[in-house]
Structure 1
Amino acid sequence: METLDACGLLCPLPVIRTQDRMRALPPGSLLEVLATDPGVLEDIPAWCRVHGHEVVEAKENNDVVRVVVRKVHQSGANEEGR
């Protein structure tokens, strides 16, 4: 599992960084996103619904949000510009 440390970044940067990292991963991969912006608990799952990826876990612990995302399919042209 790869880890993306987005601590200290505010919306929309954690989502943008997540999208960039997910593009580089093969289908089936897991990405752990760590962030201090509590909005990530809603933003990353919403992004996953739009792009067809799976949220494996989403929780906040001691002001750090942890979201684990499974890449379901290969990124395609439909993700460009979103």
Structure 2
Amino acid sequence: MEFHQELDARGLKCPLPILRCKKALADVAAGEILKVTATDPGSVKDFQAFCKQTGHEIVAMSENADVPVKEFIFHIRKRQA
């Protein structure tokens, strides 16, 4: 999937992936996609709740188990202004 900016949140525990995502979204234009890669299993529910509360949209979510630490990959579209 195409994206405009990428955030590596691997190795970070709650709430840091969400806080870094919020900061990164400030640098993305409305409607653009931010790709976030996280390793915290709780990030799945955290990002779902974050997007529900803020109006951003998870357009794709996947897992990569072919690495030593399972990765959770989110493509988040920034809400329109």
Which category describes the TM-score, using the shorter chain as reference length? Answer: 0.7 to 0.9
- 2:51 matched to which residue of 1? 48
Gaps of 5+ in 2: none
1:10-68 Cα offsets, whole Å, 9 max, x none, are 00000000000111211011001001101111111110110001101112221000011
Q: Is the 8 A contact 1:57 1:68 kept in 2?
A: yes
| Cα distance in 2 between the residues matched to 1:73 and 1:22 | 12
- 34, 39, 46: which one aligns with 1:36: 39
Moved >4 Å (runs of 4+) = none
What TM-score, normalized by structure 2, do the two folds share? Answer: 0.86
For the aligned residue pairs, the C-alpha RMSD in angstroms reads 0.9
Give the % identical residues: 39
Q: Identify the structure with the greater helix proportion.
A: 1
Pair 1:73-2:76 in alignment: no
Pair 1:58-2:65 in alignment: no
Gaps of 5+ in 1: 75-82
What TM-score, normalized by structure 1, do the two folds share? Answer: 0.85
